[in-house]
Amino acid sequence: MNHSPATLPALLAHRAAEQGDRTAVVSGAARLDFASWQSRSGALAGALRAAGTAPGDRVALSYGAGGWTEFAVAFLAVLRAGAVAVPLSDRSAPAATAHVLADSGARLVLHGGPDAPPGTPAGVRALTETAAVADAAPGEPEPPAPDPGAPAQILYTSGTTGTPKGVVATHANLAHGCTLDPRRRPLRHSDSFVHAFPVGTNAGQTMLVNALNAHARCVTAPYFTPARLLRLIAEHGAGSVFLVPAMAIELLASPALAAATASGALDGVRLVGSTAAALPQPVALGLDRAFPRAQIVNYYTSTEAAPAQITLLFDPARPGSPGRPASLADLRVTGPDGRDAGAGEPGELWLRSPTSPRAYLGERDGEVFRGRWVRMGDLGRIDGDGFLHLLDRERDVVKSGAHKVSTLQVEDALHAHPRVLDAAAVGVPHPVLGSVVAAVVVPDGELTAAGLRTFLLDRLAVHELPATVLFLDALPRNEGGKVLKRELRRLLTQEPREATR
């Protein structure tokens, strides 16, 4: 018997028939069970077809962080209609929304109302679920099941280095790893998992698939604050918590964490997962102390590589590594000649997709996609014990004179300072060395550049020490929690005299 669904609509139909009254998504006061998810998405799919949506048409989805149940319905409705879902971020600037709509070719936006998202061109129609279903003729027949090999989603990259690119995923790609067998459902150790990821991000899309596939129900926080996340964990007895590093940093600095720990509210958490960016070593160790009964897991993937993913189990005895992969079969480290690097040798990291790989919209990029292998844009190595070591994003390595400096290593050292709440390192131009390291720090109380450098002397080599330190109230981040290093470079190069104190 084949226990794998061919598409996400097939998985939803199975869950609705099997456990229709079971809650799948909790978002504030809103609850969505599998039967309602199936019936509402079916009605909206029929309405879309009746309104002229044809197979392959692109339909954008714009829902705020509090609209997870509406988004879940709309996403499955678009897939059931045979169209292609284009998730938008409600935190995007109007120009970014306009770019995604134009680049994807979307002529329809489903949204949570009351108005279309800012940046929607005049020629793009905007509809809510309520309006679409009300306008449709009753008795619209169920659209045919989508082809597993057809495009299902266009998800845009975070745009941290330039214009966001659309990444196309097929139905088979999205459904890979899902199961129809209740005995094989992931996250069986509890009845709920909690996250605070925005709609429209790769991490958010992963949580949507988890809501369809996992044993545990999905509990979403409308917006992240440490107190809100901790309250949801306690209220729902969550066994799994999913974060990005920026959230983990805020959580560990919050006074609410000590109260939650003392009350035993976190005792039921068995899994804390981090994704979207590298988790600094001191932050990983802090999470290990805050959740003593949980396994800290780093999920290594990207929008382009998914569903390829390396699950790294963090070992507090080996904090220099995010963890050891359960399997190295789908991970490659390649040297400058393109051949596999030996144990301990640094190189470029590649992940292999276990199913039909994704692709950039409208282009073939041999630099990123090579068969089922996807270039991650990271440098790393695998030591003799099988632990992965992330050295840096390839584009972020600072070439200072004869040295190459890892900004991740500098950031780990910065985060180790007790007065540093958050930090990032970048390279800035230097007239002699080419580039030098600059640090941008969010301090907790009084902290000087001289005092910080003194602290770093025992942790970094001379060429790794920040030549410039800029203190800010917060780091600029995108909606997925990634630091916008191009903004930091702009600040550092435009304001050299204000960069230290």
DSSP class per residue in 432-474: TTEEEEEEEEEESSS--HHHHHHHHTTTS-GGGS-SEEEE-SS
Model confidence band, residue 364 (pLDDT cutoffs 50, 70, 90): low
Helix, strand, coil percentages for the chain (3-state, nearest 5)? 30, 25, 45
CATH value at residue 492: 3.30.300.30
Of 233-242, 295-304, 309-318, 474-483, minimum mean pLDDT range: 474-483
Q: Which two tokens mark 452?
A: 């910080």
Give me the mean pLDDT over the 360-373 stretch: 84
Of 24 and 386, which is predicted with more confidence? Answer: 24
- For range 486-497, the mean pLDDT: 79
User: Does any domain span residue 155?
Assistant: yes
Q: Is residue 267 part of a domain?
A: no
Question: Is pLDDT at 447 greater than 80 in this prediction?
Answer: yes
Contact in structure between 43 and 17 (CB atoms under 8 Å): no
pLDDT of residue 469: 95
pLDDT tens per residue, range 84-104: 999 998 777 888 899 999 999
Q: Is residue 330 part of a domain?
A: no
pLDDT of amino acid 88: 92
Order of strands, edge to edge, in the sheet holding 434-443?
Answer: 420-430, 434-443, 468-471
Length of the chain: 501
pLDDT (tens digit, 9 = 90+) per residue, 179-204? 999 999 999 988 999 999 988 888 99
Question: How many structural domains does the chain have?
Answer: 2
Q: Choose the final residue of a domain: 175, 190, 220.
A: 175
The pLDDT of residue 223 is 86
Q: Name the least confident of 97-101, 168-172, 363-367, 421-425.
A: 363-367
Q: Please tell me whether residue 487 adopts helix, strand or coil conformation.
A: helix
CATH assignment at residue 83:
3.40.50.12780
305 located within any domain: no
Q: Is the pLDDT of residue 5 over 80?
A: yes
Distance (Å, rounded) from C-alpha 32 to C-alpha 30? 7
Write down the pLDDT at residue 500: 45
> For residue 498, what pLDDT band results from cuts at 50, 70 and 90?
very low
| Domain C-terminal end among 148, 175, 202 | 175
484 within domain boundaries: yes
Within 8 A by CB and 6+ apart from 284, the residues are 274, 296, 298, 314, 316, 319, 322
The structure tokens listed for 247 are 């959230």
CA 208 to chain centre: 12
- 497 has a pLDDT exceeding 80: no
Say how far apart CA 342 and CA 349 lie, in whole Å.
13
Question: Residue 499 has what pLDDT?
Answer: 43
Share of the chain above pLDDT 70, in %: 96
Domain boundaries, position 38: 8-23+31-175
Mean pLDDT across 333-362: 92
Confirm whether 442 is domain-assigned: yes
Residue 260 lies in a domain: no
Give tens-digit pLDDT for 123-156: 899 999 999 998 877 766 778 899 999 999 999 9
Q: Is residue 189 in some structural domain?
A: no
Of 144, 175, 206, the one marking the end of a domain is 175
